[in-house]
Copies of this chain bind each other. A is one copy, B any other.
């Protein structure tokens, strides 16, 4: 049996502690599978006194994770602290600079500094693995980086935030408001006390930016993502979606278009009978459409200490199974220097179906006016539903729902602005994009 692979773990929160316990509890099994033992030789965390169920004998404790990365006797630096700034960034750089392999679950760090870190890893002949950074236990990084080699990806999309999917699922199943479901998510620990990062789509955007680079070979562009969260989704939207054969999911979508690469995160209508529509609760899903392979959909746990630790462990095992310095898989699928500049396709040129829900005054000519504004913008309609908002009473506001055939975002925006100018709308219209899986 070869020499042990020595690893240092920075960050012993839920994921780090789970990983350390698994490495210790399953050391014999892992040694058989990997062809050599994997040993934790150094750790770093904020609180040295907490009992995490880990045997710290023979493990060097570092108060400073950057010092661990720079000096510890390790082969692999495992970064599980999170955050795009310090100490994670400097610790990872310190480790790579020494030629150490790095495994990280840090999506924010990669979304911000991924290209620079990948370039540094290549320069030093080190591996930079980050399966856990996107969609937790779903092996989507490996699929894109390894399995799909040679394919041209046309679109990648997914449910990548368990908090949002939990809330949307609960709203639909129990008929509760967004606010009530958010509270329940917080009570169960699925949402943070400050939930903005999840429910406004930023978390999904970080993950999408990483997938976009792997899928399309362009530089990471986390700030060039069109972003809409789920805070405006009402139970009325969810019911209307169901009536029309759709379900609402917060999707991150990246697709190749004629004008560049579209990256967008927004509430999305998916067909009720599609596989992704069945992905409930905190579960994640990622779909990849590629020209040779076809469509691949992966569904699994997107978060949680164990699921994330499993992905981190898979990354460590990949390193353990290869001889030192042997593997040349570029971190971002191709050498960092060969990544194309990111060319952003603006959301205004997005083409797709739209769901538009409006509350209007009940007066003559409203319906004709809406139809005319749509026609002027050459938007053709798949379905139109008009119904009373509450009961059938005269002069009661009416709800009108339109579902368009594929059209341009720009046309939809112009039509909606024109309709708003007519003066019969009550409140803001709701516009939700429709996304259709290619096959399933």
- In the assembly, how many copies of this chain are there? 2
- Docked pose: A34 CA to B334 CA in angstroms: 8
- Docked pose: A131 CA to B143 CA in angstroms: 12
Those of A129-181 within 8 Å (CB) of chain B:
131, 137-139, 142-143, 146-151
Contacts of A292 in B (CB 8 A): 22, 306-307, 309-310, 313
Contacts of A326 in B (CB 8 A): 322-323, 326-327
- Interface segment out of the listed A278-286, A344-352, A368-376, A391-399: A278-286
- Docked pose: A148 CA to B309 CA in angstroms: 11
Given contacts A294-B137, A300-B296, contact A151 B333 (CB under 8 A): no
- Asked whether, in the complex, the Cβ of B34 is within 8 Å of the Cβ of A149, the reply is yes
Tally of A interface residues using CB under 8 Å = 63
Contacts of A335 in B (CB 8 A): 32, 35
Min Cβ gap A83→B in Å is 25
| CB-contact partner of A323 in B151, B293, B318, B328, under 8 A | B328
- Asked whether, in the complex, the Cβ of B321 is within 8 Å of the Cβ of A294, the reply is no
A390 at the interface (CB under 8 A from B): no
| CB-contact partner of A290 in B310, B330, B333, B439, under 8 A | B310
Given contacts A292-B309, A313-B150, contact A299 B440 (CB under 8 A): yes
The listed residue with most B CB atoms (<10 A of its CB), out of A299, A329, A338, is A299
Min Cβ gap A103→B in Å is 13
Contacts of A35 in B (CB 8 A): 328, 330, 335
26 residue pairs bridging A and B, Cβ less than 8 Å apart:
A22-B150, A26-B150, A30-B149, A33-B333, A33-B334, A137-B293, A139-B296, A142-B143, A142-B146, A146-B314, A146-B317, A150-B317, A275-B278, A277-B278, A278-B278, A278-B440, A290-B310, A292-B313, A293-B300, A293-B307, A293-B311, A294-B307, A295-B301, A297-B299, A321-B327, A322-B326
Binding site for B on A (CB under 8 A): 22, 26, 29-30, 32-35, 131, 137-139, 142-143, 146-151, 273-275, 277-280, 283, 290, 292-301, 304, 306-307, 309-311, 313-314, 317-318, 321-323, 326-330, 333-335, 338, 439-440
